[in-house]
Structure 1
Amino acid sequence: MKKIFSLSRIVVVVVFSLIFFSITIGTVQAWEPSRPVEFIIPAGTGGGADVMARFISPLVSKYKLSPTPFIVINKSGGSGGEGFMYVKGKAKDPHTIIITLDNLFTTPLGTGLPFNWRDMTPVARLALDYFVLWVNEESPYKTAKDYIEAVKKEPGKFMMGGTGSGQEDQIITVQMEQTFGLKFGYVPFKGGGAVAVELVGKHINSSVNNPAEAVSHWKAKRLRALAAIDSERIKLPLWDTIPTMKEATGTDMSYLMLRGIFAAPGITKEQQEYYINLMKKVTETPEWTKYISDNGLKGGF
């Protein structure tokens, strides 16, 4: 009888323990940020990455996708290397994420920076970004063909402005030089916004800004779009009026850029999934759909 009583006590204890454990498991919260999230931009203000990050941040707050705000921070030094090394140094910190552009790949290759994209945790591809050949609206060149022919005649005279050195803008500039047999002078700036302002001010002759970086000046008739640097036209209202490089010159040229999100290295799977789900929700908002259209982006999560 005593043994039975003892066994009964053990069973009761085990049952209550399991019940308590089940209740505890059921009330455990999935991971979410416990302090403000640093949203790093490896480029200057006004560029495509900056515009996108500053668009996403208030959406996160508006739709209550995070219990804490996303704080946007520009770290553009060293062609974005400053930003990448900062995030790399935040190992296992789930409160640091970064928006990326192609300098994710080009900066380490061009500078020898001890960084690889695998040093961070991938989160999401938000979109692909186009490039457009721009000149000042008051420029005498009405077509890409006219402009290219003028550059050919005076090698090194025409200044192409772009974001950073050895990054996508300069890569496209070199691609144009090799494709058409011409020579630009290349002037680097910290961000696409600065490039557009310099072109409006006629301090440079052309740029290959992303649509988002030049759209306000284009709509205000301060800049002229000569050609989209892709094999197909940008299939969005207004943007589809810009001819492709092949249509404008007879020669094809194409370059698309990744717009994505990475997190610090070494975060947990649960933390990674949190940001994946959050960014997916961002791309499902009506504001995001309009943003993609207004800024000439190729959407696709």
Structure 2
Amino acid sequence: MTFPSPASRRRHLAQLGAGAIALLGGLPAKAAGYPERPLRLVVPYAAGAAGDLLGRILADRLGLLLGQAIIVDNRAGAGGTLGADNVAKAAPDGYTLLLGTDASQATNVFLSKRFPYDPVKSFTPVAAAATNHIVLLVHPSFPARTVAELVQYAKSHPGKLSFGSSGPGSAHHLAGQLLNEAAGIDMVHVAYKGGSPAMTDLLGGQLQVLFASLSTARPYLDSGKVRALGVVEAARVKGLPQVPAIGETLPGYEVNSWFAVFGPAGLPTPVVARLGSEINKVLAQPSVVDLLEKNGLSPWLTSPEELAKRLKSELQSRERLVKAAGLEAE
């Protein structure tokens, strides 16, 4: 899945924000009284992770525009599946929303033989939110200083090197498995309930390698408590230009991660229009753009219809990526 460049995103933010305002002016009367009470935004990861940061920014700014409080409900577990399933079973009234991810809405379905929901039929796409930048980290005491040296170390110590992720099926998990396949190594996956507990173990030396969101890693990178060997995207990240893409060492290596807002299936069209337009307005705010980019995220704006199309294409690409990473449904 290819996302617009940062420059292209910035050119369109103001246009999308203006379009959102225009859309609000033409909403059907049915949405006029919505919302009449607080909303709940389910974030399917632990507090302190990239999704939690984004969820709280959205809840704060979106709540102001809607005139109602938005409560962030962290429901970590099963790589985002538990939180997503909670929303899939909620009433389609616009008061329960999900900050879905590439894992909860695409990857996980290919990792379980008994998946609890349909990522397309069980949800109503509302609005895209952000792309998430992921970095490959090691403790400063770890001997490897480059991806090539990490690969060599893993080959010299087969089966003795572990990598952590924010949970099974997450882009962090896929990134590690794909590195195993691309480099011909055998790092053991250790799944955590979110990026923060995984970072704690890396800092404490209980974990050797970690694929983490830049939002989680940034303060530890800046203080020198962890070292970045590479980013998982096809090109270097704007906020971390000195760190190479893993694909510079292993051609063809690439993993993307994203967040988007969904409601339960059957969400009324006027509610979707109201929420989608207001979320776009939030993401177009210069202060929000700056805050997200400083924390390793990039705003991603699109319409509910375009998000639905992207989700279907993403399911196809994730299935190929899961196979390429050597993962099987359990």
Q: What is the TM-score with the length of structure 2 in the denominator?
A: 0.77
1:141-152 superposed matches below 5 A = 141-152=144-155
Report 1 or 2 for greater relative contact order, CA contacts < 8 Å, sequence distance ≥ 6: 2
C-alpha distance 86-28 of structure 1, shift in aligned 2 (>3 A): closer
The reply on whether 1:108 has 2:117 as its aligned counterpart is: no
Cα distance in 2 between the residues matched to 1:264 and 1:28: 18
Superposition misfits of 4+ residues, deviation over 3 angstroms: 26-29
> Does the CA contact (< 8 Å) of 1:46 and 1:194 recur in 2?
no
Displacement of 1:67 in angstroms is 1.6
C-alpha distance 38-153 of structure 1, shift in aligned 2 (>3 A): same
> Does the CA contact (< 8 Å) of 2:39 and 2:68 recur in 1?
yes
Q: Deviations over 1:146-168 (max 9, x none)?
A: 11210111111111011222332
Match of 2:51 in 1: 49
Displacement of 1:59 in angstroms is 2.2
Number of residue pairs the alignment of both structures matches? 271
Cα distance in 2 between the residues matched to 1:213 and 1:55: 15
RMSD over aligned CA atoms reads 1.9
Displacement of 1:191 in angstroms is 0.1
Aligned pair partner of 2:196 in 153, 173, 193: 193
Match of 1:77 in 2: 77
1:135-284 superposed matches below 5 A = 135-236=138-239, 239-247=240-248, 249-284=249-284
Q: Deviations over 1:205-262 (max 9, x none)?
A: 11111111211111121111111112211123xx112111133x25341111121111
> Does the CA contact (< 8 Å) of 1:47 and 1:191 recur in 2?
yes
> Does the CA contact (< 8 Å) of 1:120 and 1:265 recur in 2?
yes
> Does the CA contact (< 8 Å) of 2:88 and 2:263 recur in 1?
no
Cα distance in 2 between the residues matched to 1:266 and 1:67: 24
Q: Deviations over 1:162-194 (max 9, x none)?
A: 122233222221111110000011111000111
Rg larger for? 1
Match of 2:322 in 1: none
Cα distance in 2 between the residues matched to 1:257 and 1:31: 35
C-alpha distance 31-156 of structure 1, shift in aligned 2 (>3 A): farther
> Does the CA contact (< 8 Å) of 2:39 and 2:95 recur in 1?
yes
Q: Which amino acid aligns with 1:109?
A: F
C-alpha distance 140-295 of structure 1, shift in aligned 2 (>3 A): same
Matched residue of 1:242: which SS?
coil
Q: What is the TM-score with the length of structure 1 in the denominator?
A: 0.84
Q: Which runs of 5+ in 1 are unaligned?
A: 1-25
